[in-house]
Amino acid sequence: MDKMPVSDLLSAGAKHIGLRLLHGKKQTHEHFITSHRIQKPGLALAGFTEYLHEGRIQILGNTEITYLWTLPPKQRKAAADNLMQHEICCFIVTKNLKIPKEFLAAVQECGVPLFKTKLLSSKAIELITDFLEERLAPETNVHGVLMDVYGIGVLIMGRSGIGKSECAVELVKRGHRLVADDIVTIKKRYDTLVGMSNDILRHHIEVRGLGILNIKDMFGVTAIRMRKKIELVIEFVDWDQVGSCDRIGLEKKFYETLDIKTPMTVLPITAGRNMAVIVEVAARNQLLKVMGYDSAKDFSDNLLNKMNPKRKKNGAAAGDILSFKNIPKKGEE
């Protein structure tokens, strides 16, 4: 979302900020916030408005309000009128400070929403920034299933009907947690991807032949999560669609979305494979990699050292890795 109506500051999600609307109820639907960064007018009240940014919430704290009260009424009105010449989405006055009538009149005349909160400026800025970062974060939707497996956020993707939801049910049965099925909403937070379900599908999963199931009601609240950081992407593909298959695990693949790359594993599907167990193993392997241990690389190094003892003494050369690309798959020997 690239912009958010000011009215969202009065939504249930922003209730913890404790904002009270003083003026501009109609305008809250017409003014939009475009940045999660907060601004304090400061010098803008003294006439220096060059760095006043449109689309940012303007916080009036103790410094700003006290400065206005020190001005004579005419200068106070001039300062407020000068501020209103710019496209300001809204003002928030902190600490329940008393607002000069000249500023109130200028706000009402220009139709700029005005809020008040009892919070200190520092706390209000912290809470509002966190709320805006969530609402204004870039997002996209993907078709798949998002699971929390051993604390690793695993996004399972693949063609429709390949068995993603059935695998998810088995994972839930084995004690793991469902985040989203079918449509996964992904938001970019800093340099990470966070996945969640939409309001309609939350806690539900579709199993062909059974229909829509409520995982929360069937397995309890411990079987679901509201959101999860995505740390591994697993793509299910049909066995006969796989060309050369990495037999060791040294190939590095990534899934890129919202300009962020996430480690990716491609798993061939065939009759008799317990995909839930394989997904568990993939999650465990990812945990080891996060901790700095790569079993495939370790195996490759040990085997190459056995084949060439001098290699260990001289050190591995660049690109000196083991490859099983030309080894036939099981059943093709």
Annotated binding-site positions for ATP: 158-165
Rounded to an integer, what distance in angstroms lies between the CA atom of residue 15 and that of residue 123? 14
Tell me which residue of 135, 132, 58 sits closest to 89, measured CA to CA: 58
181 Cβ contact partners less than 8 Å away, ≥ 6 residues apart? 145, 146, 164, 165, 168, 197, 201, 204, 205, 206
- Point out which residues pair with 120 in neighbouring strands: none
Catalytic residue among 37, 77, 123, 247, which?
247
Catalytic residue among 36, 116, 164, 203, which?
164
Annotated binding-site residues read 158-165, 206
Tell me which residue of 188, 187, 165, 189 sits closest to 178, measured CA to CA: 165
Q: Is 216 a catalytic residue?
A: no
Q: Is 143 a catalytic residue?
A: yes
Catalytic residue among 143, 173, 174, 208, which?
143
Annotated binding-site residues for Mg(2+) read 165, 206
DSSP 137: S
76 Cβ contact partners less than 8 Å away, ≥ 6 residues apart? 68, 69, 100, 102, 103
Q: Are 186 and 258 in contact (CB under 8 A)?
A: yes
Rounded to an integer, what distance in angstroms lies between the CA atom of residue 48 and that of residue 67? 14
How far from 162 is each of 168, 173, 195, 267, CA to CA, in Å? 12, 19, 21, 12
Tell me which residue of 129, 126, 145 sits closest to 137, measured CA to CA: 129
Beta strands in the chain (DSSP E): 4-5, 20-23, 32-33, 58-60, 91-93, 114-116, 139-149, 152-158, 177-189, 192-196, 204-207, 211-214, 227-229, 232-238, 253-257, 260-269
Q: In what order do the strands lie in the sheet with 152-158?
A: 227-229, 192-196, 177-189, 139-149, 152-158, 232-238, 260-269, 253-257
Catalytic residue among 76, 182, 187, 204, which?
182
Q: SS3 for 77?
A: helix
Classify strands 20-23 and 114-116 as parallel, antiparallel or unpaired: antiparallel
Rounded to an integer, what distance in angstroms lies between the CA atom of residue 103 and that of residue 132? 26
Which residues belong to the active site?
A: 143, 164, 182, 247
